[in-house]
Amino acid sequence: MLNQIAIIVADGILLGLIYAIAGVGLSLVLGIMGIVNVAHSAFIMLGSFFAFELFRRLGIDPIISFFLAFPVFFAAGVIVYRVLITRVELAPQTQGLVAMFGLMVLLENLGTIAWTTDTRVITASYTNQSILIGPIVLANVKLIAGALALLLIVAFWAFLRYTLTGRAIRAMGQNRSAAMSVGVNVRQLAAVMFGLGIACAGSAGVALGMVFPFSPNTQILWLAWAFLVVILGGLGNVGNTLIAGLVVGLIQTAVAAFMPFDYVYLVLYVLLAVILVARREGLSRAARRGI
């Protein structure tokens, strides 16, 4: 019994770390820039296929892809920002929402054209191995993906906390016009910020692809998880997002231990509804919370 609980907890934590990086980019973009990036999960999906293609064609290990994905998706994010976001940033939020929705559908279907709707897995040399820590059996991939996720989150947190750019980003999140008036180049910084959000999505996609099977048309699932993490953890706060991710991961493994996996979605929605009713605050107010 105790063993089982230990396994559930360990599994939940590793899963939670992965959920946390799926959510962190969304949380920051939403919290600091106020952009509802519904295309976030589409970039996660592209991240998974990025690792898949590199592994299949060039034999590059997903661990390396994880680091390669970051700059590649950063560039993609900056391009999306320049082309799309700058035009809808000052418009009503619904307009941006429609544009990002269009982007999501576009990416998903480009993915379907390129890779079909078949479910894919990345089978690296260590995929089916596991190690024994005391009584707990842990899959190597989950350990590796979890460690990478933790690394990314800590790096992100440190970046926002200690670097000048990070401080400027936080300032922008707290008060955009005040940040502008003290000489922060808000537009350039917003591009960087959005790029970082997408870069997180890309790397998260690689980590997800190591652990889970994936296909272009199930990406919306990841939006659900990422969104849940964001709602639970609040916006724009890396530490809280991490905790929220862990909580979601633990809930999922606990629920999955007692029920068929499909019912996890029901639990997920009830949880979402409860949090939304309990918190009773809109995005704009939450965005002003401490970063």
Partner 1 sequence: MLSVFFLKSSERGGWRAWVGVAFWLAVLAGLVLYGAFGTRLFILSTLGTVFLYVVLTQAWNILGGYGGYLNFGMVTFFGTGAYASAMIFHYFGLSPFLTAPLAGVAAAIAGLVIGIPTLRLRGAYFALVTMIITFAVQVLVLNVPYTQGALGIYMEPVGLTPLGVERLFYFLFLGLAVLVTVVVYAIEKSNIGWALVAIREDEDAAEIIGVKTIEVKWVANAIACFIAGVVGGLYAQRIMYIEPTGTFSFDISLNVVLMAVIGGPGTWQGPLIGAPLVLLVADALRVTFTSEVNRVIFSIVVIVIALFVPGGVMGMLEYWRRRRKRAEATSVAEERVS
Q: Is 128 in the site for partner 1 (CB under 8 A)?
A: no
Q: Is 256 in the site for partner 1 (CB under 8 A)?
A: no
Please state the closest distance from residue 110 (CB atom) to partner 1, in A: 6
Angle among Cα 65, 198, 196 to the nearest 5 degrees reads 95
- Residues 254 and 8 sit within 8 Å (Cβ to Cβ): yes
Please list, residue by residue across 236-272, b when 16 or more beta carbons sit within 10 angstroms of its beta carbon and e when fewer do: bbbebbbebbbbbbbbbbbbbeeeeeeeeeeebeebe
Among 8, 15, 32, 38, binds partner 1 (CB under 8 A): 38
Beta-ladder partners of 136? 133
Q: Which stretch, 2-10, 88-96, 163-171, 242-250, contacts partner 1 (CB under 8 A)?
A: 88-96
Q: Is 221 in the site for partner 1 (CB under 8 A)?
A: yes
Q: Is 99 in the site for partner 1 (CB under 8 A)?
A: yes
- Residues 214 and 45 sit within 8 Å (Cβ to Cβ): yes
Q: Is 118 in the site for partner 1 (CB under 8 A)?
A: no
Q: Is 23 in the site for partner 1 (CB under 8 A)?
A: no
Crossing angle for the helix pair 238-258 and 264-279, nearest 10 degrees? 140
Sequence-distant (6+) residues with CB within 8 A of 164 are: none
Q: Is 79 in the site for partner 1 (CB under 8 A)?
A: no
Please state the closest distance from residue 207 (CB atom) to partner 1, in A: 21
**Separation of alpha carbons 205 and 218, rounded Å:** 13
Among 185, 284, 288, 290, binds partner 1 (CB under 8 A): 284
Going through 181-255 in order, the beta strands assigned E by DSSP cover none
Please state the closest distance from residue 150 (CB atom) to partner 1, in A: 26
Binding residues (CB under 8 A) for partner 1: these are: 36, 38, 84, 87-88, 91-99, 101-106, 109-110, 112-113, 220-221, 223-224, 227, 231, 260, 262-263, 265-266, 268-269, 272-274, 276-277, 280-284
